[in-house]
Structure 1
Amino acid sequence: MKKILLYSLLVLVLSIVSCNEDLIDIENPNFPTTDTFWKTPDDAQLGLDAAYTMFYKPGSWTRWIYFRFDLTSDEGYSQSPWNELKEWTRFIYFNYNFWEGNAWIWRDHYKAIFRCNQVLDYVPEIEFSSQADKDAILAQAKFLRALYYYNLVLMFDNVPIVLNASQPDDTPEQSTATQVYAQIKTDLQDAASALPEQWNAANLGRPTKGAALALLGKVHMQMHEWQEAKDALSWLVEGAGATHYDLVDNYKHNFMHTTENNKESVFEIQFSDVNPRGDGDVPNQNVGSNRAQFFAPRGIGWSDGQPRRWLVDEYKKEQTVDGDIDPRLQASIFYPELQTDFPGEKIYGRDWEAGWGADCFFRKYQGDYYRNHEDYYSPINFRVIRYADVLLLYAECLAELSSGTPPALAVELVDRVRERVGLPTLANSTLYASALNSKEAFLKRLQMERSLELCLEGVRWADLKRWGLWDSQDGLNELISRDADFTNFVVGKSSRMPIPQTEVDNNPNLDQNPMY
């Protein structure tokens, strides 16, 4: 009897609720909404903080971005037992919805853009006592949005441009890479005009005027707009911004958590190991980097990504003026003869192990200098833009704008990077002095100078795309000679990833990328 009465009561309650949806659509008064939240300058800062939080997501700078920009270039590769991940780095896409590759990266980047768009939509209506503070918040949101669109266009080319906080049923129009770059340039120009040249110590890590101009220069270079790129970068190299930046004396200091935010840093992601937890949108989420765990030698990390051996051989071709091996090799790569070449070295406190064979492993951004293991919470900041990168980019612009032999300043900038690690100037190099004979020879040498200085730092994919090495069979053959995975590369197709198929299926305004 009690069961029957209880059942009848339950039916009655459910029938009442089903007749009055308002009874089940009750707002939580403690949960902020767009109507209650965007009211004060503190709200504006919290909204901006939410955009920064996207740095710490697997589809962003915490993990998967390095697999695309490092492992899919000619500098890295994967022999992971996870077959789908390995094939993804080899231009073999069995599943366009591969979560850890295509889908997660797409989702987290657009989630970050959504958070930037919220700031840009709602903060203009908030009253601030200081207009400069308000402008700085908006400028940061524009920089972050530009940075995420820059990643997307490098990976996918043809992506939707979303400039307002989106709704679940939105079906944004697809844009071309040229249109995406144009929007990025607009955001960065606005950001550069409002961002400070430097922040105080409490705000280290926020983008500066120099960061915005450096990224703007990169965008122009991807579009082969050499004069515009030079104009953007000149503030950092020949203008007032040059007083803020320089090369650090010790190359390795660019990859350690004890020497971060130094004078060579133009923009870096601030990582910390204070919250060894998950990466969801919860209080005290993980704000560390997973990169070291995935790239450490076998038995220490997962070793899902490794550097190509040709890098080691290239470093060894030219000695320093003191007759030593280029110290950038010691700071960049674990390799079998490391302890012979650099006596006293250890690999996470160990000697080279037989199980590692002839393989090479990442050393940049690994924690071997202070511990004997890795985990998912590395505190080492990732330098998205280093000043050495800016100097070499500026040299490239100057050379592209010249005719005949490379300009003196372009040569000087390359020499400045070389001399930091003890290498001779190009003119005094017994191997590469011929690079000064013509613009073409200089630009070709610059391609290798960039790799030796910046290898495994997430810039090589953009470089290869800008240089168009994979646009012709001759260039593709050069890449294949360094990286056999490029035998899978299809000209006109593989320079971009497939768009996640679920996105194409759910948005009638979105077409799959050509040849997929």
Structure 2
Amino acid sequence: MKKILLYSTLLGAMLFLGSCENELEQENPNALTTSQFWLSPSDAEAGVNSIYAMAYKDGLWARWIYFRLDLTSDEGFSKSPWIELADWTRFKYVNFNFWEGNVVTYRDTYKAIFRCNQVLANVPNIEFTDATRKESILAEAKFLRALHYFYAAELWENIPMVLTPSLPTDLPMQATKEEVFTQVETDLNEAFNALPTSWDANNVGRPTKGAVKGLLAKLYMQQHRWSDAKTAMDYLISGQGVSYSLVSNYKDNFTDANENNSESVYEIQFGNQRLGGTGEDATAAVSSNRAQFFAPRGIGWSDGQARHWVVDLFKEEPNLNGGIDERLRHTLFYAELEADFGDLIYNRHWQWDADEAFFRKGQRDYYRTNEDYYSQVNYRLIRYADILLMYAEALNELGQTSEAYQYVDMVRARANMAPLATAHPEIGNSHDLFLARLKKERVLELCGESVRWLDLKRWGDLETQAKVDEIATRDADFNNFVVGKSIRMPLPLSEVQNNPNLTQNTGY
């Protein structure tokens, strides 16, 4: 398979983080300045590619962001011997400047945003013979800025919003989550018209119109704007963008064998061509470290594990053949995996505890017996199954529960599960019962895919003590959760101390 790995290193001042770095304003004689760089279409291409390169940094999709999105949710947890790292997955925050748990993700987020802002500020002044390509470069930068601000707003909520190239001396103003979401919506709507419905083989991995609508749907769902979310997803399901479908083999969403397939709405492109670090040098890796950190003991670092209640959920309802939901074998490693499906666990001689489970999606056990820092498996950030289940949720919230069933059934059918009305006739047209079941359906389909934390926030399950106590029955880490505080992370202390325009998040 040929996949594009969009990577480019910008030199000198262009790589400075601006508001998040305290660098002296000195001119490097060995590096280009912004006035020397932004002159040609090739500079514009390098500039936009440098934004994609941020996905390969350890603060973002290469490594640490999964600790927040997957392990902090009730699907996962950490028993890492590195106590401070594990504490950041169980709401025990002592050092707000803890690099791996907080600062590096914050830094790399704003570094990516800085690169977006550089493109948006400088590319309009470059003369292109291909005006369409110029506009699509700007649209890519807007999509990527929206993507990074969307996750930043969900993680920290009240954050600086920087929309122009920043300087080390800048002290940006703090914005509310709602204000950031407004900008995310603006960027996505402006990006939509200039992006294509698909790219040629050399450019697969850049956002499409469908990716814009998929991210807009996620944004609207988090805001409970059900009608707007439905309209965004209409484009993907029944509108002009109706080119998506579920692949027949569920496993194809989690290996490198069938990437960028019909189910992929937007995915992070990874590769193993370069075995370097995560810096800015020419040998820097374009790989994912997730598998290394989440693999079972003896295979990887095992810093991230899955909660065993997920295994039990898969076994609550048999499939149409009377067996176990096949998605379980591709979702988790667990002690009974070989007995249930005949699948060898990485190390069959390792003594597993009966209540242990590890995330299997993205692991490479289908062709090797160990993990490392250089996984080439793409990360499907938005896939069509997620869209279908969100669409059903939106319809249910709009009072169209009976119409919502078919979209859940599409996802269940691939897994050889009975139609929802047949398996659970007690739901009927009850909004609450349908939502309660949909919460389970999303775990069965999407476990370990970095959606659960956002789901819990959207459903309001983190907003009352009673609901948090219910989560704690399946994830004891939630006994540490403080309502009104733990729903968001603290801002890095260094940021608050260095910028008088920032106020630390409530409770910290």
TM-score interval for Structure 1 and Structure 2 normalised by the shorter chain: over 0.9
Relative distance call for 1:371 and 1:27 in structure 2 (3 A) is closer
Where does residue 351 of structure 2 map in the other structure?
Answer: 354
Identity %: 54
CA distance in structure 1 between the aligned counterparts of 2:420 and 2:341, rounded to whole angstroms: 25
Could you say what secondary structure the match of 1:287 adopts? coil
Where does residue 511 of structure 1 map in the other structure?
Answer: 503
Where does residue 279 of structure 2 map in the other structure?
Answer: 280
Where does residue 374 of structure 2 map in the other structure?
Answer: 377
Where does residue 11 of structure 1 map in the other structure?
Answer: none
CA distance in structure 1 between the aligned counterparts of 2:420 and 2:295, rounded to whole angstroms: 34
CA distance in structure 2 between the aligned counterparts of 1:399 and 1:112, rounded to whole angstroms: 36
In the TM superposition, residue 67 of structure 1 has moved relative to its aligned partner by 0.3
CA distance in structure 2 between the aligned counterparts of 1:451 and 1:224, rounded to whole angstroms: 20
CA distance in structure 2 between the aligned counterparts of 1:51 and 1:224, rounded to whole angstroms: 30
2:451 is the alignment partner of 1:453: no
Relative distance call for 1:74 and 1:358 in structure 2 (3 A) is closer
Amino acid at match of 1:131: A
CA distance in structure 2 between the aligned counterparts of 1:175 and 1:198, rounded to whole angstroms: 34
CA distance in structure 2 between the aligned counterparts of 1:407 and 1:124, rounded to whole angstroms: 49
In structure 2, the gaps of 5 or more residues are 1-25
Q: Cα deviation per residue 1:309-344 (whole Å; 9 max; x = unaligned)?
A: 00000000111111111011000101111111012x
CA distance in structure 1 between the aligned counterparts of 2:402 and 2:277, rounded to whole angstroms: 51
Q: Cα deviation per residue 1:159-185 (whole Å; 9 max; x = unaligned)?
A: 011000100000000000000000000
In the TM superposition, residue 146 of structure 1 has moved relative to its aligned partner by 0.5
Where does residue 61 of structure 2 map in the other structure?
Answer: 61
In the TM superposition, residue 352 of structure 1 has moved relative to its aligned partner by 5.1
In the TM superposition, residue 355 of structure 1 has moved relative to its aligned partner by 5.2
Relative distance call for 1:486 and 1:114 in structure 2 (3 A) is same
In the TM superposition, residue 477 of structure 1 has moved relative to its aligned partner by 2.1
- Which of the pair has more CA radius of gyration? 1
Where does residue 288 of structure 2 map in the other structure?
Answer: 289
In structure 1, the gaps of 5 or more residues are 1-24
Where does residue 470 of structure 1 map in the other structure?
Answer: 462
TM norm structure 2: 0.94
Where does residue 36 of structure 2 map in the other structure?
Answer: 36
Where does residue 331 of structure 2 map in the other structure?
Answer: 332
Could you say what secondary structure the match of 1:469 adopts? coil
Aligned-CA RMSD value: 1.3
CA distance in structure 2 between the aligned counterparts of 1:132 and 1:282, rounded to whole angstroms: 31
Q: Cα deviation per residue 1:261-286 (whole Å; 9 max; x = unaligned)?
A: 11000000000011011110011211
Amino acid at match of 2:345: I
Could you say what secondary structure the match of 2:241 adopts? helix
Amino acid at match of 2:314: Y
Could you say what secondary structure the match of 1:241 adopts? coil
Question: Greater helix percent: which structure?
Answer: 1
In the TM superposition, residue 428 of structure 1 has moved relative to its aligned partner by 1.3
CA distance in structure 1 between the aligned counterparts of 2:31 and 2:89, rounded to whole angstroms: 42
How many aligned residue pairs are there?
Answer: 484
In the TM superposition, residue 502 of structure 1 has moved relative to its aligned partner by 0.2
Note if contact 1:336-1:352 (Cα within 8 Å) is conserved in structure 2: no
Amino acid at match of 1:441: L
Within the candidate set 413, 417, 420, 2:414 is matched to: 420
CA distance in structure 2 between the aligned counterparts of 1:357 and 1:447, rounded to whole angstroms: 25
In the TM superposition, residue 439 of structure 1 has moved relative to its aligned partner by 1.4
Where does residue 298 of structure 1 map in the other structure?
Answer: 297
CA distance in structure 1 between the aligned counterparts of 2:440 and 2:86, rounded to whole angstroms: 26
Amino acid at match of 2:312: D
Could you say what secondary structure the match of 1:419 adopts? helix
Give structure 1 regions of 4+ aligned residues with deviation exceeding 6 angstroms: none
Note if contact 1:298-1:356 (Cα within 8 Å) is conserved in structure 2: no
CA distance in structure 2 between the aligned counterparts of 1:121 and 1:26, rounded to whole angstroms: 21
2:65 is the alignment partner of 1:70: no
Could you say what secondary structure the match of 1:184 adopts? helix
Q: Cα deviation per residue 1:33-77 (whole Å; 9 max; x = unaligned)?
A: 111110111100000111110000000100001000000001000
Amino acid at match of 1:133: R
Q: Cα deviation per residue 1:443-492 (whole Å; 9 max; x = unaligned)?
A: 11111111110010000011101001111122112211111111111111
2:160 is the alignment partner of 1:160: yes
Which structure 2 residues correspond to residues 15-164 of structure 1 after superposition, within 5 A? 28=29, 31-164=31-164
CA distance in structure 1 between the aligned counterparts of 2:355 and 2:388, rounded to whole angstroms: 34
Amino acid at match of 1:347: I
Q: Cα deviation per residue 1:84-121 (whole Å; 9 max; x = unaligned)?
A: 01111000101111100110010000000000000000
Where does residue 12 of structure 1 map in the other structure?
Answer: none
Could you say what secondary structure the match of 2:427 adopts? helix
Where does residue 235 of structure 1 map in the other structure?
Answer: 235
Note if contact 1:294-1:304 (Cα within 8 Å) is conserved in structure 2: yes
Note if contact 2:72-2:89 (Cα within 8 Å) is conserved in structure 1: yes
Note if contact 2:402-2:429 (Cα within 8 Å) is conserved in structure 1: no
Relative distance call for 1:59 and 1:199 in structure 2 (3 A) is same
CA distance in structure 1 between the aligned counterparts of 2:50 and 2:240, rounded to whole angstroms: 32
Note if contact 1:426-1:436 (Cα within 8 Å) is conserved in structure 2: no
Within the candidate set 441, 448, 452, 2:433 is matched to: 441
CA distance in structure 1 between the aligned counterparts of 2:457 and 2:89, rounded to whole angstroms: 16
In the TM superposition, residue 377 of structure 1 has moved relative to its aligned partner by 0.4
Amino acid at match of 2:252: H
Relative distance call for 1:418 and 1:130 in structure 2 (3 A) is same
Relative distance call for 1:33 and 1:307 in structure 2 (3 A) is same
Which structure 2 residues correspond to residues 303-314 of structure 1 after superposition, within 5 A? 303-314=302-313
CA distance in structure 2 between the aligned counterparts of 1:436 and 1:364, rounded to whole angstroms: 33
Could you say what secondary structure the match of 1:274 adopts? coil
